[in-house]
């Protein structure tokens, strides 16, 4: 599957983007463990979140589907059943890492598998702290999936210092802490997205938190609540940058999640001189939301402040496209987490931008991008949905056609991306047979 994208000059309209992926994953997990039934509206019907949903259905959770929502009938903290088969997480690292924490203390054995891309991703940084809590978790020889979780009688709480800022590792340890004896504490080197903490509070589970310390005591119950999932700012970022770099643009995105641990992308773009207006503030299910209006901008290269990196970690593929269209040089450092996403995103971005004629210097923890004109070319997404979408948006400033190969995984996070892109002015076509 590939995208063929022709240069276009105008971006305009009003859109909504699909529901937040991180919140959708967690809504399924906590609703399944809760006492009572939870109604979830705005759930992301992407392959990643559906993998999480199907996993819980295999463990005995019943789901009723409405026209634009679903009701999840929780089985309680101790009600999950051992699945008959391995749980397939597809392409979703979030599903696998969070499920590893949640299932570490369940008392039954289970194996987690995934697609070719997921089977290459590191799992020891999740498994090591969980094993120190008394879990028994095995991986393949290189620390990659499949992940096999063995039955244990109980877990013991720990205090864990994250070596690298990671919301997934933090969440896995906290989820295991729900089933551990004592108080489990996670200390972060920098604040990361806090959807797990927000949703625990929404399901009335007690926790203690400060800027970089979160603790939960095992043994409490979760209680059903209704969840409205806002639009995913990571998906919105592609169209925010599209409006910034298009020669003629005015675009409004409605009901975008504005959790402060996720808005680093807006702060970085505003520092680059982006014309961004945030309005219609609201709160949905404990998460702040807003509308965002973006206009054509004369972007400037910057040194990205390292403290903003964790809150924009998923947006760097499209931020690097913005940097390629900016005047001057942009430097990204302390972003080594990008090396272990769906692809090595530092390497994939560097290769793709070089193909389009952009000067790039790559480092172990980041890269330097010299803004300038973009040519056309053939881009390999590396099985990575965010790389595929980012280089589709780059067509707005390209001199010729951009062909992006291996785009199937876009459906994991942004079903309907092509249709949304066309609706605002991109000249993009989908071809089912790749090279």
CA distance 385 to 387: 6
CA distance 279 to 268: 18
Say which of 314, 380, 384, 406 is annotated catalytic: 314
CA distance 31 to 52: 12
Is 314 a catalytic site residue? Answer: yes
CA distance 266 to 274: 9
List the catalytic residues: 314
């Amino acid at each position: 599957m590939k995208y063929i994208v022709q240069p276009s000059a105008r971006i305009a309209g009003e859109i909504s983007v699909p529901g937040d992926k991180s919140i959708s994953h967690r809504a399924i997990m906590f609703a399944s463990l809760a006492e009572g039934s939870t109604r979830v509206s705005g759930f992301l019907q992407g392959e990643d979140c559906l993998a999480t949903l199907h996993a819980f259905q295999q463990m005995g959770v019943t789901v009723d589907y409405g026209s634009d929502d679903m009701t999840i009938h929780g089985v309680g903290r101790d009600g999950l059943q051992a699945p008959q088969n391995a749980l397939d997480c597809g392409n979703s690292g979030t599903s696998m890492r969070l499920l590893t924490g949640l299932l570490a203390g369940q008392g039954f054995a289970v194996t987690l598998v995934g697609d070719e891309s997921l089977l290459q991703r590191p799992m020891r940084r999740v498994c090591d702290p969980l094993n120190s809590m008394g879990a028994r978790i095995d991986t393949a020889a290189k620390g990659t999936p499949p992940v096999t979780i063995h039955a244990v009688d109980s877990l013991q709480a720990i205090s864990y210092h994250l070596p690298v800022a990671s919301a997934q590792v933090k969440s896995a340890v906290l989820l295991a802490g729900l089933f551990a004896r004592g108080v489990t504490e996670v200390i972060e080197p920098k604040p990361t997205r806090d959807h797990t903490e927000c949703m625990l509070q929404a399901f009335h589970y007690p926790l203690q938190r400060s800027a970089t310390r979160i603790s939960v005591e095992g043994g409490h119950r979760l209680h059903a609540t209704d969840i409205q999932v806002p639009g995913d700012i990571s998906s919105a970022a592609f169209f925010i940058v599209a409006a910034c770099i298009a020669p003629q643009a005015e675009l409004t995105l409605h009901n975008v999640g504005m959790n402060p641990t996720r808005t680093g992308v807006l702060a970085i773009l505003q520092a680059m001189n982006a014309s961004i207006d945030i309005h219609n503030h609201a709160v949905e299910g404990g998460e702040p939301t807003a509308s965002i209006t973006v206009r054509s901008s004369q972007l400037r290269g910057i040194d990205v402040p390292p403290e903003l990196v964790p809150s924009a970690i998923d947006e760097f593929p499209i931020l690097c496209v913005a940097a390629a269209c900016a005047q001057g040089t942009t430097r990204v450092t302390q972003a080594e987490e990008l090396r272990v996403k769906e692809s090595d995103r530092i390497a994939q971005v560097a290769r793709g931008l070089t193909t389009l004629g952009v000067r790039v210097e790559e480092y172990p923890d980041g890269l330097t991008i010299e803004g300038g004109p973009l040519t056309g070319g053939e881009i390999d997404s590396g099985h990575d949905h965010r790389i595929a979408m980012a280089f589709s948006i780059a067509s707005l400033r390209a001199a010729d056609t951009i062909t992006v190969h291996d785009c199937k995984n876009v459906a994991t996070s942004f079903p309907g991306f092509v249709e949304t892109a066309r609706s605002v002015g991109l000249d993009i076509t989908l071809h089912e047979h790749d090279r």
